[in-house]
Amino acid sequence: MYIRPFDPWKAKLCTCPLKYTLNVYTGCDHGCVYCYITSYIPNAFRVRTKERLLEKLERELRKFDRRYIISLSYSSDPYPTVERELGITRKVLGLFKRYDVRCLLLTKSDIFKRDIDILSELRCAVGITVTTVNERKAKLLEPNAPSPKARIKALKKSKKAGIPVYARIDPIIPFYTWEDFEKTLDALSFVSHITVSTLKLRPDSKRRMFAKFPKLMEKLWPLYEKGERIGGYYYLPQEFRLEILREAEMKIVERGITFGSCREGYRSFPSCDGSHLVPH
């Protein structure tokens, strides 16, 4: 099955409503240093297509319960570089339109602006992840992803077309992206909902972070050593995390934007992931 229930691992801190997920591609070429998919997808930074995806997907959609949302995507970005040429995600959206599927789209790319014509006819909400609006820092963290500026410009275009829009500021990295949080928030002040999440490390992402940001990790890693291990991830100490989340929530809510947190054991309203924006 290509359409699968979200979070098959039943993560202890996941508060997402019942929804499904579809990864159009296997792997993601954005190459984000902090990425978690390298812990379970072989050659995770190499993008591959899926055999007979559209044919099999259409069979699954015929039986799909249309009350539920399909999210694109949480393991592999639906808009890798090769999507510009292949257009597979665009064809998937065409199937969603045909079968009246509710869709939650999340990406670190600006390629989705090409598909605004289809997205504006779907029951969907479109979101981007922006870790920081500092272009230099973003390039170091997400070397192959389009710039935050390009993503934000594309999302504004989507909103202008009448599509509900949201964002993730994720991960928040103390001593690094957290310093830019207000600027990032100001650049995203036009969205309806923002989800935040602090940096959670697995052994593979920890190694990459140490290799790329040795001075930062000299300050950061001692905090993780004092923190928690939850579901295979290293978490920051709870009180330290909660202090960041409380401040993030205050700044988001005072701008008239609803707030969500992801796998933090903290509150969200009215949903953690922005799924409340998807029309019924």
Q: How high is the pLDDT of residue 74?
A: 86
Residues 216-275 have pLDDT tens digits of: 999 999 999 999 999 899 999 999 999 999 999 999 999 999 999 999 999 999 999 999
Q: What dihedral do alpha carbons 154, 155, 157, 158 form, nearest 10°?
A: 120
Answer yes or no: are the C-beta atoms of 273 and 259 closer than 8 Å: no
Residues 139-197 have pLDDT tens digits of: 999 999 999 999 999 999 999 999 999 999 999 999 999 999 999 999 999 999 999 99
User: Where do the DSSP E strands lie in 57-210?
Assistant: 69-72, 102-107, 123-129, 165-172, 193-198
Answer yes or no: are the C-beta atoms of 83 and 111 closer than 8 Å: yes
pTM value? Answer: 0.96
Residues 102-151 have pLDDT tens digits of: 999 999 999 999 999 999 999 999 999 999 999 999 999 999 999 999 99
Residues 197-207 have pLDDT tens digits of: 999 999 999 99
**Is pLDDT at 9 greater than 70 in this prediction?**
no
Q: Is the dihedral of CA 103, 107, 113, 114 positive or negative?
A: negative
**Is pLDDT at 69 greater than 60 in this prediction?**
yes
Q: How high is the pLDDT of residue 7?
A: 77
Q: How high is the pLDDT of residue 269?
A: 97
Beta-carbon-side half-sphere exposure of residue 22 (alpha carbons within 13 Å): 31
Ordered DSSP codes for 7-20: -TT--TT--PPS-E
For the chain, the C-alpha Rg in angstroms (whole number) is 18
Answer yes or no: are the C-beta atoms of 165 and 230 closer than 8 Å: no
Answer yes or no: are the C-beta atoms of 255 and 185 closer than 8 Å: yes
CB count in 10 Å sphere of residue 54: 14
Percent of the chain whose pLDDT exceeds 70: 99
Alpha carbon 228 to its chain centroid, in Å, reads 23
**Phi, psi at residue 133, to the nearest 5°?**
-90, -5
Q: How high is the pLDDT of residue 27?
A: 97
Q: How high is the pLDDT of residue 8?
A: 57
